[in-house]
Structures are given as structure tokens and as C-alpha cells.
Chain A
Amino acid sequence: MSMDHSHLTRRRFISNFAFATGAIATGVGSWVVRPDWANAAEAPIKVGIATDLTGPIAYAGNADANVAKMVIKEINAAGGLLGRPLELYIEDTASNESVAVGNVRKLIQRDKVDMVLGGITSSMRNAIKDPIVARGKTLYIYPQLYEGKECTPYLFCTGPTPAQQCDEFIPWLIKNGGKKFALPSANYVWPHTLNVYARKVIEANGGEVVFEEYYPLDQVDFSATVNRIVSNKVDVVFNTVIPPGVGPFFKQLYEAGFLKNGGRLACVYYDENTLNINQANEIEGLASCLDYFKALTKDDPASAKIQAAYEKDFPGNFLFAAGSAATGTYRGLKLWEAAVKEAGKVDRESVAAALDHAKIAEGPGGPAEMVPGKRHCKMKMYTAVAKNGTYEIVAHSNGLVDPKEC
């Protein structure tokens, strides 16, 4: 990860000195990105990012933080927002809800940010939404694909919903995999709620759910599950197990010969970042349905521009990928920018009113628009299959897909 050192300082509420930026590279602790405008006369607009810089989802959190830095830099380079520079405050949620709440409080009460974007897992979103929206009275944008049903006022979701991920994906799976589904899942809210929706779509399309099971997040031994999958001759494993369990799970499934016997893996959060968790042969043929894949850059110039800009600023291991909330972060920030421009002000009420119907013409994967009154976002969806360690797009939606939420 390359950092522009001159822009980075560590905020201390007791004293003001710049901390060695070596430590900043690991992304630990809170820090600020300030624009390089000399003597910016206007008060800055403060953007807060709360994401997993450490922990099992750190591969995604760091990507999101990078996207935020990139977007803010672009906006500042173009003269800022409403003529004011943007300041970025980043806090680590550390995949630890208690730490996250404490750090989010810093953003709201100490740094007094005008907006917070972040949270990746649904449990994190649930933990931090109260301090942000209810107690903190601040706007909150949630960028990640999730299970839906989040209708809290002033909370806007810019990631795919179950309707967007399942409605066209599951019929494709049935046609290109088989009718018997297994739903191995991590035991928290996202898989529980997603599975309810997925089951409906599976059964409506003539499929059958052979079993649905939930495991603790740190479980790494899936022998019982694998055995059940093989002995029941399951065709499609619609997986919602997340790291750290997903790597060992796919490995054990592969070793039991699931792929060899024609089985299909399906995982709706699997993107370019998670491809690296397993060896390529262990996940050959894995299908995913997201709002963006890097393979799109061949055909979509807007996506190519964004991907190139990201890779220039942040070469390294944290990839710009849709399952890691990176595209949702980009989309969220650009939609917010459009809303602030329309509102002309930064207070929560005005921005929320404008964000309600905000649109962007150029986003990763295509344009995006918020559905008025629903606080969710329409976007294009793509189905892709993992071949030899990279994704190949096999299907796409006709135009923007409705999130069907709230």
C-alpha cells in the first residue's frame, strides 16, 4: 500500500505531533487524511470511515479504506465539495463490535464528522448503527452486500440486496448446476435472513433445499457437513460460511471430491479478494453474483477507469472488489457527493433528502440510482464463474436491478 506521507498526521487530543508513518501503513489506529490545499479558508467537510482494518475481514476493510482515500483525493483535486475541502477520518472496527463502538464514538463525538460510511459484516452494522444514527444523529451509509430489511431512517445501503443477488442467480444455478441445494452457513444474521429469501427463490424455480445448517464463525472442521453434502448428492452448495471457516471448508469439500463429481459451488460474497484464500483448483467453477467484477474492465470504460485509478494508487494485496464492499464504498461516496451538491448544505436532513433520489452515471459495473423512499440502490448485476483463479462473466442483468427493500 503506498501512502502519501505528507498528507498524513496522527490526531492526538492531548498533543499534536506526527507519528511515524511506518505504523500507519498497517492501518492501525485512527488517522486523518487532509487535503493539500494551503491555508484552506473554508471549514472542511468531514467524512468518517469505520471499517475492519484488522481481523479476519481485514482484506475487505483495507480495500474500502483505500477506495475512500482515492475518492476523497479525487474530489479534493477537483476543488472539493461546495468549495470546501474534504477531510477523511478513518477508524478501525477490528471485527470487534465493542472496539468498533468505542472508535465510532470517536468519529461522532470527538471528530464530529458529517457522515459515516462503513461496517462490513451485518453484526458490525448492527453494533455501530445506533451510536451513529440514533445517539449520534449522523448520516450513515452502509456499503456492503447484505440480507436486507434495514429500514432505519438516515441509514442508506449501497450494496446489493438478496433480491439483486438471488433473483437471476439462482435460476442460473439451477440450469448450470442442478436442483439439489445445500445451505451451509455462518451463524449470524446475514446468512439466516439471506437463506430465507434464497430458499423461496430456489423452491419457486423447482429446486430443493436438502439441508440448511449454521456453524460458529471460527469453526474449521467441516467433516460432518462435507459428508452430508456428498452422501445426499447435493448439486449446488450455496455457501454463506465466511472467513476464517470458508477456506478450510472449500478445501475439505474439494478433497472429498465434490467438484470432481460435478458439484457447483456458489457464494454471493466471493470476489477477487477471497479467490486468494484457496488454491485455484479447489474453487474451480465457483459461481458468484455481484455488482462488479474486474473482468468488466474489458468492456466498460467507466469501470476500467476506476479500476486503473485504484491500482495506480494502491498496488498490493487489497483488491478493488465487489464482495469486499469496495464498490459499495465508491458508489456510496459518489452518491453522497451528488446529494451534497444538490442540497448545497451538509446537515443531515438536507443531505438525506437529496440522497434519497441521488443518481450517478458512472460507477463500478455501471450507473446507480437510489430508489426514492427506500434508501437502497439500483445497480447492474453480473454472474461470474471462477476459472483458473480468475473470474469469467457468464451472465448479466438487463439494466438496473431493483433492490426490492423497505
Chain B
Amino acid sequence: MAAAKQAVARLSEGPDVVTGEGAPAAGVPAGRGAAGRQVLPIVEGLVLLIALLLPLVLQDYLTVFATRVIILALFALSFDLVWGYAGIMSFGQALFFGAAGYGVALMARDLDITSIFLILPAGTLIGLVAALLLGGFLLLGRYPASVIFVSLGTLTGSYAADRLARGWYYLGGQNGIPSIPSLSLGSTDISEGPVYYYLALGILAVVYLLCRFLVRSQFGLALAGLRENEQRIAFFGYKAQHLKAIVFAIGGAIAGLAGSLYAFHEGFVWPNILGVVFSTQVVLYVLFGGSGTLIGAVIGTVIIEGVSFWLSDNYRDIWPIILGVLLLLVIMFRPLGLISFVLGERERVGRFGKAPKETHNAAP
């Protein structure tokens, strides 16, 4: 009870840049959400509606581009889970994305497997296992790992994987693995276009709902506590590092799923999808859209990829600079991301399980 009161009191303080290590910024932007109305489902519904109708209005070539954005949004979702909900600044999500991409590419090249029922689970599994291994190594141990160490560890993992893939000729070296055949469903090929689009969208929607369910469950409640105050949660008996490792593994699995979709959509994999630049790209998407909201990750991806595509013909030189400036401004002044313009803090933190009548945030 006291904890809830404190949490509520904290929320009404003025905006602060950051209130502590590991936690995403807390602050109260003036928004409609503060009044208690539910904005989040409206935003989510709107995004889903637009996504469903998009292929009907776009040319084929743009639908292919939109599919790619959806797959990247799935990737961004994995990062939001890990950073926004468990406070792990993973600079190496691309490691899981790329490992799965390479894994399924090898399966297609060496074992002639292209069936969707084998490829997608394989990709997810590769991401899961890789994340369990790396997360286990970085997070578990006698002493709790510092946030800096974990982020540097993931950064290094991604970089090392990139160098390894670049140097190992079996994986194609600098070339990567080209000419990946199409994903197949039984005897039909799922080629790029509206079909692949709806497949990716369907997967994104399902994963999104699963994540939503996860973060609103009791497990999610423990995560919320972890974000607010890790030490206190540990005193309550929760194994903080184990919680983190579990979320990290789930994030890795989602990233792996995205990676396998990407490999078959683009038709080739290469070392850059394992590396640091790609890892930090997904950090950009989530930061921009708003971490800790799931939909923010999707929105951030869509905006950045969409604008960058639209400007790519004319302002390709300047756009990355503008992007960097916008990002810097967001970090400095609006660390909650663009979503905070419509979403209040209470809604961002969310409700867990069944809400008791007295408070908005569930009490232990």
C-alpha cells in the first residue's frame, strides 16, 4: 500500500530527464490520458486498421516495402520488451535477429527446407537459445551485473558476431548467403507482395497480443516493480536477475522470429544484420516512438522507415542528420518518445491483472 502511494506520489512530480539507472524516464506530460480516458486501445486499433487496409491502396512495390517495415516493427517490439519492460539496454538485439536469419538461410541452402512450419519455429528457437546463452552469461552470477556491463556485453556480442560472419566463408563471408528461395506453405510459394504482407502482419498482431498479455499479467507486475526499484523487488523475494533473463530470452525469441521472416522476404542475409549499426537502429525506433508501450515501438519504426523512404530520393544526404537531431531532441526533452504526446503516464505503466477498485496501479 505504501509502495503504491509512493509510486503515485512520484508520478505527480514534474518531468525529470531520468530518475535512475535502468528505468525508462518517468514524468507527467500533460495529456488526455491523465484524465483517466483510455487512449492506448484507440491508438492500437487505429494502427491495426490502417495496417489492414494498406495493401489495398498501395502499389505492389510499396506493399513489399511495407512488409519490410512490419518485420522491422516486430524486431523493434522485441527490443521494447527488453528495454521498456525489463530495463535492459540491449545494444545487441541484432545478434538474435541475424543469428536466426543466418540459421534459416543455412537450412534453406544446405537442407532445402523452406516450409513455413519449420522455418519460423526454427528462427524463434535460435533467437531464444542465443538470448538464453548470452543473457545467462551477462545477467546471472554471484553479483548483479551493472547496467553498463550488460549493455556493453550485448554490444560486444553483436560486434563479435558480425566479425565472425564476415570472416567465416561457410557463412558466405562478406557476401552473406544470397538467393534464399521463397517460403513455402505446402506446395505454394509465399512470395513478396500482399500475401507476405498479411502473413507478417498476422504474426506481428499475434506476438503483440502475447506481449500485451505478458506485461499485464502478474509477471508483468513483477517487471513493473523491477523497473521502479530493483533492490526493493529483490527484498520482496523476487529474483530480479532471473526475471531479467527470462524477458531477455523472450525478446531474443521474438527477434529471431523477425529475423527468419526477414531472411525469406529479402532473399539474402549478410553480416550487417548481425552488427552494431543494425542493433542501434532498433534502439532508435523504440526511443523515437516511445519505450515501454509496445505500440510505441511499432509507431516509431513506421515513422522512421516511412519518412526515410519518402525522403530517400532527394534528401538522402541530410535525412540521417535530421534523424540524429530529432533523436537527440527526443532524448533530451521528450525521453518518453512521441507516444507520450497522446498517452498519459498512468496508462503507460498500465493495469495489471484485475484492478482493485481503489487504485489505478495494482497494489501487491
Name the A residues within 8 Å of B313 (CB-CB): 10-12, 19, 29-30
In the complex, how many angstroms separate the beta carbon of A399 from the nearest chain B beta carbon? 34
Q: Are A130 and B178 interface neighbours, CB within 8 A? A: yes
**Chain A residues with CB below 8 A from B312, complex form:** 29
Contact status A187-B169, CB under 8 Å:
yes
Instruction: Check B61–A97 contact: CB distance below 8 A.
Output: no
Residue of chain B at shortest CB distance from A189: B175
Q: Are A98 and B175 in contact (CB under 8 A)?
A: no
Among residues of B, the one whose C-beta sits closest to the C-beta of A134 is B179
Chain B residue at minimum C-beta to C-beta distance from A242? B174
Which of B9-17, B122-130, B262-270, B345-353 lies at the binding interface?
A: B262-270
In the complex, A204 has a CB within 8 A of chain B:
no
Residues in B whose Cβ lies below 8 Å from that of A10: 313-314
B270-A12 in contact (CB<8A): no
- Judge if B163 is at the interface, Cβ distance under 8 Å: yes
Using known A-B contacts A109-B60, A122-B175, A126-B179, determine if residue A98 contacts B267 with beta carbons closer than 8 Å: no
Which of A29, A122, A126, A214 is B316 in contact with, Cβ under 8 Å? A29
The residue in B68, B166, B273, B314 that gathers the most chain A C-beta atoms within 10 A of its C-beta is: B314
> What A residues does B172 contact at CB under 8 A?
188-189
Within 8 A of A (CB), among B117-141: none
Roughly how many angstroms separate A349 CA and B312 CA in the complex, as a whole number? 33
Query: Are B61 and A109 in contact, CB atoms less than 8 angstroms apart?
Result: yes
Does any Cβ of B come within 8 Å of A353's Cβ?
no
Q: Does B81 make an interface contact (CB < 8 A)?
A: no
- The answer to whether the Cβ of A73 comes within 8 Å of any Cβ in the partner chain is no
Does A186 contact B174, Cβ atoms closer than 8 Å? yes
Determine how close the nearest CB of chain B comes to the CB of A171; give it in whole angstroms.
29
Q: Are A135 and B61 in contact (CB under 8 A)?
A: no
A404 in contact (CB, < 8 A): no
B89, chain A: closest CB distance, angstroms: 25
Give the residues in chain B near A105, CB-CB below 8 Å.
Answer: 61, 64-65
Count, A-B residue pairs, CB within 8 A? 92
B267 & A97 in contact (Cβ 8 Å cutoff): no
**Across-interface contacts of B191 in A (CB, < 8 A):** 135
Q: Nearest residue in B to A94 (C-beta to C-beta)?
A: B316
Residue from the list B179, B272, B314 in contact with A29, Cβ < 8 A: B314
Is the C-beta of B173 less than 8 angstroms from some C-beta in chain A? yes
A102–chain B nearest beta-carbon distance, Å: 8
Q: Would you give the shortest CB distance from A193 to chain B, in whole angstroms?
A: 11
**B163 and A216 contact, CB distance less than 8 A:** yes
Per-residue A-contact encoding for B171-189, CB less than 8 Å = 1, 0 else: 0111110110000000000
Contact flag A12-B314 (CB < 8 Å), given A97-B176, A189-B173: yes
Contact with B along A286-314 (1 / 0, CB 8 A): 00000000000000000000000000000
Task: Encode B133-154 as 1/0 by CB contact (under 8 A) with A.
Answer: 0000000000000000000000
Within 8 A of B (CB), among A202-225: 214, 216-217
B75 to A: closest C-beta gap in Å: 14
**Would you call A129 and B179 a contact (CB within 8 A)?**
yes
Contact of A72 with B by CB under 8 A: no
Residues in A whose Cβ lies below 8 Å from that of B228: none
| Residue A176 lies at the interface, judged by CB distance under 8 Å to chain B | no
B317 on interface, CB distance cutoff 8 Å? yes
User: How far is B316's CA from A23's CA once the two chains are assembled, in angstroms?
Assistant: 10
Chain B residues whose C-beta falls within 8 Å of the C-beta of A30 in the assembled complex: 313
Which residues from A are CB-within-8-Å of B174? 123, 186-188, 216-217
Cβ of B230 within 8 Å of any chain A Cβ, yes or no, is no
Find A126's partner among B60, B192, B268 (CB 8 Å cutoff).
B268
* Complex interface: chain A residues within 8 A of B169 (CB): 187, 192, 214
A134: B residues at CB distance < 8 A: 179
In the bound complex, residues from chain A placing their C-beta under 8 Å from that of B64 are: 105, 109
* A23:B175 contact, CB within 8 angstroms: no
- Docked-complex contact B267 and A130, CB < 8 angstroms: yes
Whole-angstrom distance between the alpha carbons of A106 and B272 in the complex? 21
CA gap between A122 and B174 in the complex, in Å: 10
Interface residues of B in 15-70 (CB under 8 A from A): 59-61, 64-65, 68
Decide yes or no whether B341 CB sits under 8 A from chain A: no
| B316 adjacent to A123 (CB under 8 Å) | no
Q: Please, which residues of chain A bring their CB within 8 A of the CB of B316?
A: 28-29
The residues of B that contact A127 with a CB separation of less than 8 Å are: 175-176, 178, 268, 270
Q: Does A131 contact B (CB under 8 A)?
A: yes
Q: Considering the chains assembled together, what is the distance between the CA atoms of A26 and B65 in angstroms? A: 26
On whether the beta carbons of A187 and B310 are closer than 8 Å, the reply is no
A188 to B172, CA, bound (A): 7
Q: Which residues of B contact A122 (CB under 8 A)?
A: 175
**Which one of B173, B192, B310 has the greatest number of beta carbons of chain A within 10 Å?**
B173
A106 pairs with B61, CB closer than 8 A: yes
Give every chain A residue within 8 A of B314 (Cβ-Cβ).
10, 12, 19, 23, 29
A-B residue pairs, 8 tightest by C-beta: A109-B61, A123-B175, A126-B178, A188-B174, A187-B173, A188-B173, A130-B267, A110-B61
Report A's interface with B, CB cutoff 8 A: 10-12, 14, 19, 23, 26, 28-30, 96-98, 101-102, 105-106, 109-110, 122-123, 126-127, 129-131, 134-135, 186-189, 192, 214, 216-217
13 A-B residue pairs with CB within 8 Å:
A19-B313, A26-B317, A29-B312, A29-B313, A96-B272, A97-B176, A97-B268, A98-B266, A122-B175, A130-B267, A187-B167, A214-B169, A216-B167
* Besides the known contacts A28-B316, A29-B313, A130-B268, 10 further A-B residue pairs in the complex with CB atoms under 8 A apart: A10-B314, A29-B312, A122-B175, A127-B178, A127-B270, A130-B267, A187-B169, A188-B174, A189-B172, A216-B163
